[in-house]
């Protein structure tokens, strides 16, 4: 369980070695949205499920802005030119989003498209 300081969102150094620094930025809220169920399904069924982090550089430091469990939302962020990375999903989050996907995901039937005729004899 996180302490109140960790939940407050105050950044905390986890690793500070030559060439590498890791920070914990707690306090982000993950909310599951009905219209993102496909993105959650794609994430939990991937070989390496992720928590996706939207971040930006500020004073030579990468700062997280938002987090999501939807691979489709993360792809939209990246397509919009934002910096997005993924980190391994903790087991308790995987269980939570996995249960949500099992209860709510229904694959959409594939739509069949009628081929158009390209012959000259069209009426």
Q: Tell me: the pLDDT tens digits for 63-98?
A: 999 999 999 999 999 999 999 999 999 999 999 999
Report residue 60 CA to chain centroid gap. Answer: 24
- pLDDT attached to residue 80: 96
Dist. CA 5–CA 113, nearest whole Å: 56
Shared domain for 9 and 63, answered yes or no, is no
Side by side, the strands of the sheet bearing 61-68 are: 61-68, 50-58, 83-88
pTM over cut 0.75: yes
Dist. CA 55–CA 23, nearest whole Å: 13
| Residue 111 domain-assigned (yes or no) | no
- Quick one: which H or E segment has residue 103? helix 91-104
Shared domain for 15 and 48, answered yes or no, is no
Q: Are 29 and 9 in contact (CB under 8 A)?
A: no
| Residue 118 domain-assigned (yes or no) | no
């Amino acid at each position: 369980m996180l302490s109140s300081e960790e939940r407050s969102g105050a950044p905390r150094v986890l690793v500070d070695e030559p060439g590498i620094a890791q920070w914990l930025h707690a306090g982000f809220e993950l909310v599951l949205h009905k219209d993102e169920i496909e993105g959650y399904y794609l994430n939990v069924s991937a070989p390496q499920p992720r928590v996706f982090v939207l971040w930006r550089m500020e004073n030579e430091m990468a700062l997280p802005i938002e987090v999501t469990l939807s691979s489709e939302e993360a792809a939209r962020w990246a397509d919009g030119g934002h910096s997005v990375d993924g980190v391994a999903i903790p087991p308790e989050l995987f269980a939570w989003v996995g249960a949500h996907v099992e209860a709510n995901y229904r694959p959409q039937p594939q739509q069949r498209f009628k081929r158009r005729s390209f012959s000259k004899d069209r009426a």
